[in-house]
Structure formats: structure tokens, C-alpha cells
């Protein structure tokens, strides 16, 4: 086996929502593996602080960006294009959710969630296409990579009253397959990563109560939450030579919740 099979050193990556939560886990993992990483966050102070902290690991640059209006996504892409002539790895991780009972779930809960979770990734891919094509042109065995972070909630029926969120994640899973077919001739792979439950803000309400947490873990065949190493390992695999022949996939990483039932 080649020692460089999982090597991503020297690659340039963008991780949206990379200042906290799962995005932070992924960004730190890519940095530790030798990549140059751009991160985004809606809050400038958070973005600056996270980039400064992660710069102790490697080259990390923070760009404050609200990915709700399409114009802001285009602005983000333009900033990246002004700094780089190619982009090797694009990880669309930034997400938004909204929870409320069905009877009172508001119409206003749809547009912002779909904008960030579906339209934002699409617009960013479209706008960064020249940089992704430049990366893919370097080597047929080393395509540019797009990784869209989905959710188990968009693949399986989970007890979550987050209707716009689950619909948006199902949408990004399928959009990833459509874009994979579209971009394969340009030597760009597109995959969806489908996480189960990880220790992030979105699962804080589950982990807060010990009884609830234990009840939840009883539904996970591997009986634990995901870790940073779990999600980073999959992203590095998909971003390295080891994952160069994989595109259009939905890669479930949930401790067996979907596949074992």
C-alpha cells in the first residue's frame, strides 16, 4: 500500500461553518493532515478567534460570511478566488435548523433553512467551479473534491420536529448525486457525508439529560456518539488518493443506526 494513499498535505480546502461544531472538527483534522484551510462563520469575532486558535496547527484563514442570501455566497467565492487560483477540497458544512411541533411549525422556518442547507452549497459550487476545475486538471488520478455534509435525519425517519431541516438534508443528498454526474467530466468528485449524532450544538438537548442520552444511545448499535476522529477520517479518505474513484455516494457515518435496521 502506498504511504501517500491518505496524504492531503499541501491541498487547499474551504470548510464552511468551520469555526465550531462538526465544521471545526473537520477543519482541525484537515490542518493536522497538512492542508491549508479556509473557514467561514456568520460571526466575525468567532471566525477570527477560531482561525487564530487553529493557526497553531497549520495555515488557517477565517472569512466571515453569512451564507443565507445568495449574494453573500457569491461574495465569499469572490474572496476565495482573489486569494487562490485553485481549490482542491470544498466542504459544505454550514447548516441551519428550526424545531417546532407540527401544529405550530411556521412558514418562516422554511426559506432560511433551505437557503443555507441547499441553495448555499449549490451557489458556492457554481461560483467556485473555475478553481475546482483548475485543481481537477492537475492529475486525472487526483480530482478536486466536493463534500456536502448531510444528515441521518435526511436519510431515515428520526423523532425530530425539524421539518424544513430534514427536507433540506434529503435535498442535499440528492443534489450531490446530480452534481457528481454533472462534474465527473471535469475531474471533480461530489459526495455526501451523512452523519448520525455527534457532540455538537444540534445534539446538546439530547446529551443534556442523562436519562435521555442513555435512551438515545440504546438506539445506536455501536452505543456511542460520533467523535472528531470519526468524521475527520471519512473526510480525509474522500479527499485523498484513497477516495479518488468515489463520486455520487452517500456515506453514512452513524454507528449503525441506519444500516443495522
Q: Which residues are catalytic?
A: 165
- Angle subtended by helix axes 129-136 and 120-127, to nearest 10: 60
Residues 6+ apart with CB under 8 A from 108: none
Dihedral sign from CA coordinates of 233, 235, 239, 242: positive
**What gap in Å lies between CA 32 and CA 30, rounded to an integer?**
5
Q: For residue 203, how many other CB atoms are within 10 A of its CB?
A: 17
Q: Specify which residues 144 forms β-bridges with.
A: 188
Strand boundaries in 7-123, DSSP class E: 12-15, 36-41, 60-64, 89-92
* Per-residue CA distances from 98 to 54, 197, 232 (Å): 29, 17, 26
Q: Fill in the DSSP letter of residue 6.
A: T
**What gap in Å lies between CA 105 and CA 11, rounded to an integer?**
43
**What gap in Å lies between CA 27 and CA 196, rounded to an integer?**
19
Closest CA to 136 of 190, 192, 60: 190
The helix/strand/coil state of 98 is coil
The helix/strand/coil state of 3 is coil
Amino acid at each position: 500500500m502506498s504511504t501517500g494513499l491518505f496524504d492531503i498535505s499541501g491541498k487547499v480546502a474551504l470548510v464552511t461553518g468551520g469555526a465550531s461544531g462538526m465544521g471545526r472538527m473537520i477543519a482541525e483534522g484537515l490542518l493536522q493532515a497538512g492542508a491549508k484551510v479556509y473557514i467561514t462563520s456568520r460571526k466575525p469575532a468567532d471566525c477570527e478567534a477560531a482561525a487564530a486558535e487553529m493557526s497553531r496547527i497549520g495555515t488557517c484563514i477565517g472569512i466571515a460570511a453569512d451564507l443565507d442570501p445568495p449574494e453573500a455566497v457569491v461574495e465569499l467565492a469572490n474572496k476565495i478566488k482573489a486569494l487562490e487560483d485553485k481549490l482542491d477540497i470544498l466542504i459544505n458544512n454550514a447548516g441551519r435548523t428550526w424545531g417546532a411541533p407540527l401544529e405550530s411549525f411556521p412558514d418562516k422556518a422554511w426559506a432560511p433553512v433551505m437557503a443555507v442547507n441547499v441553495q448555499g452549497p449549490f451557489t458556492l459550487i457554481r461560483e467556485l467551479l473555475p478553481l475546482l476545475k483548475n485543481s481537477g486538471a492537475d492529475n486525472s488520478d487526483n480530482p478536486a473534491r466536493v463534500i456536502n455534509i448531510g444528515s441521518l435525519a435526511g436519510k431515515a425517519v428520526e423523532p425530530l420536529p425539524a421539518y424544513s431541516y430534514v427536507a433540506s438534508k434529503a435535498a442535499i443528498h440528492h443534489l450531490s448525486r446530480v452534481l457528481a454526474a454533472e462534474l465527473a467530466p471535469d475531474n471533480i468528485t461530489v459526495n455526501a457525508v451523512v452523519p448520525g449524532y455527534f457532540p455538537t450544538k444540534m445534539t446538546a438537548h439530547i446529551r443534556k439529560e442523562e436519562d435521555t442520552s442513555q435512551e438515545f444511545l440504546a438506539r445506536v448499535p455501536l452505543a456511542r456518539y460520533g467523535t472528531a476522529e470519526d468524521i475527520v477520517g471519512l473526510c480525509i479518505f474522500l479527499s485523498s488518493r484513497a477516495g479518488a474513484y468515489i463520486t455520487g455516494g452517500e456515506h453514512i457515518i452513524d454507528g449503525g443506526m441506519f444500516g443495522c435496521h
